[in-house]
Chains A and B, each alone.
Chain A
Amino acid sequence: MAGLDSSAELPSGPSALGIFGDLARQQYSALSTMRWAQFSNGLRSNKGILELGARVLTYTVYGGTGIGISTGIGFATYLSVSHSGWKYLPIFFWIAFVIWQLVPIVMASFQEQFDLGILLRFPVSFSSYYLLYVIFGLVDVSTITGVFCCTGIWVGATIARPGETWWLALALAGFGVFNILLVRAIFAWIDRWLAQRRTREILGAIFLLLALSAQLLNPALREGRHTTHTTPQERIASQRQTFDRIRPWLQRANEVQRWLPAGSAAQAASTAAAGSPGAALESFGVLGIYSLLFGAVLGLRLRSEYAGESLGEAPSRKKAARREGAWLQGGSGPIAAILEKELRTLVRTLPLIYAIGAPLVLVVVFSGAFNRAVISGHRFEFAFPICLIYAQLGFIQLFYNSLGAEGMGIQLYFLSPTPIRTVLLAKNIFHSLLFALVILTASVLATLRIGPPSELIAVTSIAWLLFSLPCNLAAGNLFSLLMPYRINPGRLTRQRGSQANGLLSFLIQVGVMGIGALVILVCWFTDTQWLAAPIYLVLAAVAVFVWLRVLRNSEGIANRRRDELIATIAKLG
């Protein structure tokens, strides 16, 4: 029984000690090799090459956007530092902070991230696990954009005050570390909360409540805006009055923000540049405390994960024996069954609710901008359709990857006597109903914010949507069969997306919008605005025909590709 002798020596190997110990370094190397192998193996297939091409293109776009924002913020910093010294530096730090924290929320559902949970079966130390978690977060869009912003601030300030910005570089570096830790901590905790069904439902309810609350703010925001016939002088006087009213609040906010992360980072840089190292060190200390705090918050979460807690699905606590009836009892048959199943799945899948709901909230936010955009005394008449177009963007994932959330259940569609085209038809019906509901909600929101559209605009918008919907459904059905990817319904982050699917579906959206815009342009410039709606309806008829053809052919496509579909959507991990 030598093998069971507890005193027997363990096999010799690399030391497990330390975040950079032999074992840790060996593991980092193994992980890099594994990631590289995954990447290069992916290139063996056409899909992998397409994916790489899409990824390069997407990251080029991200990079370009980042450089654009960076240039803007850099130029603004240059102007500000040149004219007013370091006084307004906190503003740029706060802008960078908002961008850094907002981008991952907007992009969460579309980014592919490596799930480090697979490492837990190996002897990886907690510190290594923590480090890897942070490092893997460095290649996401938020970090890229945030780093570009910080670089822009530094370059702008350096051009304005050469030789005075070494402290600024240090402050920006500390600020960057803080932001990285904050983003990772937020998403680690969000994943934890979303892991429990009850919490998911509560968060879903809060989300909807917030969306509705935004509506209640509307009357307050619109208060006093009915006097549209004001002279520029009156408007300036009114604005000055408003500014005087809020000035004390701004001063107080300025005092407070100095003690917040972005403010303390800016304060550290500006006081150091002004020759007050003591004050600078104090601000650095505050920033350091924030970084440690959020580092600890992240550590708390990762410690539980590291201890073996499964984030995939924490069990629901409630065990009720209540008998429940089926929905849609009146309708039997596969279509009713799929409609019911889709509805149940949707209300339990926060990433999808989020994808649909987030654009609605942003419609509320952005429609305020249209409200202010008065051109020659007239309201911008295309604000309403633009809001509807934006609301539609939330459906990309549902339309273009309609089978992605099925998991192992995808096999059932091939086992049952229900044809795949019936499955897709039922999904299309469900998505169309949902689409109609969201568009209706967006219309109400937009109307409350910017006022009702003219009849012509309303009819034209509806006609365009009737054209856009079947286009998206037809293309979406094809993409769902040809370029599917698995959606993990329990996670908001760390999804394995598909850049190729995302990019191509985005291009189709752009194409549909482009056709719509072209029709509008021609009709408006030829003063035949009434013609736009009939043209859209003709296009809609063509799109419906195409959609029906795609549905008819979907059976053959699905059966030819069922191995790959099942392998992709039902795969584990």
Chain B
Amino acid sequence: MLAAMQTAAIQTHGLTRRFGALTAVENVSFSVAPGQFFGFLGPNGAGKSTTIKMLTGLLEPSAGSIEILGQPFSAGALDLKRQIGVVPEGMALLGRLTAPEYLRFVGRMYGLDNKTTNERTEELLDFMQLANERRKLVTDFSHGMQKKLALAAAVIHGPRVLFLDEPFEGVDAIAAGMLKAMLTGMINRGATIFLTTHVLEIVERLCSHVAIIHQGRLVANGSLEELRAGVASSLPGAEGSQRLTLEQIFLAIVGAGGAEPAQELSWLA
């Protein structure tokens, strides 16, 4: 009850985005409470990245509204942008800079003073284990290193709301463990994290709430337990007999998508 009375960290109403005749996201409404680790799932092409782009101001909604920390959000809401950190789909890196140069650049773009920016840059480079690569251009980084740098850039200004689009893609197990610890620490300090990923195990371990988008529409939204209970009740024989994994929940809601491919593609070795 108390949570419901709090101002939502993220709230959308009827969020819609059309690309010509294609409706990529249709009438999506959800709310993310402050301090929540929110997993936003969906199959490829479901509309996850489109949604996150609209939530971060990279894409204008065709209809609907967005509120971040209780205030209407648009591309021009600059004060709100100071409260937001983003790892977008393309990572937004500048290839011709080195990692320290890039972090300093981002820090100053978010209005941090030089001293703070420099201190945080050094801390983040050490934390992300990028300190030994400080002379290398970002364009020469491996994909995993670029992801770590993008995450470092997303948090350098201490955002209250963090949007992460596939942050663990291409990151090795050690770095992934480190990132998870960092994100959990942020949640413990009251930040809100909006995460999209295909790695359901990570969502299951980290997220308290999950929404699933399919073909542009929100088809599930709630805590993991609520989703589990909902799916269990709809699956004959599953009720109470076992603890459903997120993968089972996801497949039950979204569907396996037809016949097994190997049976269809007879020419495939």
Contact = CB atoms under 8 A, between A and B. Distances in A.
Contacts of A411: 58, 88, 90, 92
B78 A419 contact: yes
Given A2-B269, A341-B94, A408-B91, A197 B137 contact: yes
A427 B82 CA distance: 22
A415 B56 contact: yes
A336 B109 contact: no
A322 B269 contact: no
Interface residues of A, number: 54
A490 interface: yes
A414 B94 CA distance: 14
Nearest to B106: A412
B95 A555 contact: no
A315 B75 contact: no
Given A2-B269, A11-B267, A409-B92, A321 B132 contact: yes
Interface string B229-266: 00000000000000000000000000000000000000
B118 interface: yes
A296 to B, nearest CB: 31
Contacts of A418: 78, 109-111
A412 B81 CA distance: 11
A408 B96 contact: no
A399 to B, nearest CB: 19
Contacts of B100: 324
A322 B131 CA distance: 10
Interface string B57-87: 1111000000000000001101111101010
By CB atoms of chain B within 10 A, which of A312, A318, A408 has the most? Answer: A408
A65 B58 CA distance: 44
Contacts of B101: 326, 340-341, 344
B137 A415 contact: no
Contact of A319 (B84, B96, B136): B136
Contact of A313 (B81, B131, B137, B153): B137
B58 A319 contact: no
B226 interface: no
Interface string A1-29: 01110001001000000000000000000
B225 to A, nearest CB: 34
Nearest to B108: A337
Contacts of B104: 326, 337
By CB atoms of chain A within 10 A, which of B58, B76, B92, B101 has the most? Answer: B92
Interface of B: 56-60, 75-76, 78-82, 84, 86, 88, 90-97, 100-101, 104-106, 108-114, 117-118, 131-137, 139-140, 153, 267-269
A51 interface: no
Contacts of B79: 417
20 contacts: A3-B269, A11-B267, A313-B137, A316-B136, A319-B132, A319-B136, A344-B101, A345-B94, A407-B93, A408-B94, A409-B95, A410-B92, A414-B58, A415-B81, A416-B81, A416-B109, A416-B110, A417-B81, A417-B82, A418-B78
Contacts of A332: 108, 112-114, 117
B132 A490 contact: no
Interface string A317-334: 011111110100100111
Contact of B75 (A319, A345, A407, A562): A562
Contacts of B134: 321-324
A271 interface: no
A104 interface: no
Nearest to A333: B108
B108 A334 contact: yes
Nearest to B84: A415
B97 A345 contact: yes
Contacts of B139: 312-313, 490
A417 B137 contact: no
Interface string A73-99: 000000000000000000000000000
Given A326-B114, A332-B113, A348-B137, A415 B88 contact: yes
A316 B137 contact: yes
B94 A334 contact: no
A319 B108 contact: no
Given A559-B75, A562-B75, A340 B135 contact: no
A415 B100 CA distance: 19
A351 to B, nearest CB: 12
Nearest to B146: A408
A484 to B, nearest CB: 16
Given A2-B269, A320-B135, A337 B113 contact: no
A50 B241 CA distance: 64
Interface in A273-327: 312-313, 315-316, 318-324, 326
Nearest to A330: B114
A461 interface: no
A409 B93 CA distance: 5
Given A332-B114, A345-B97, A562 B105 contact: no
A161 B148 CA distance: 72
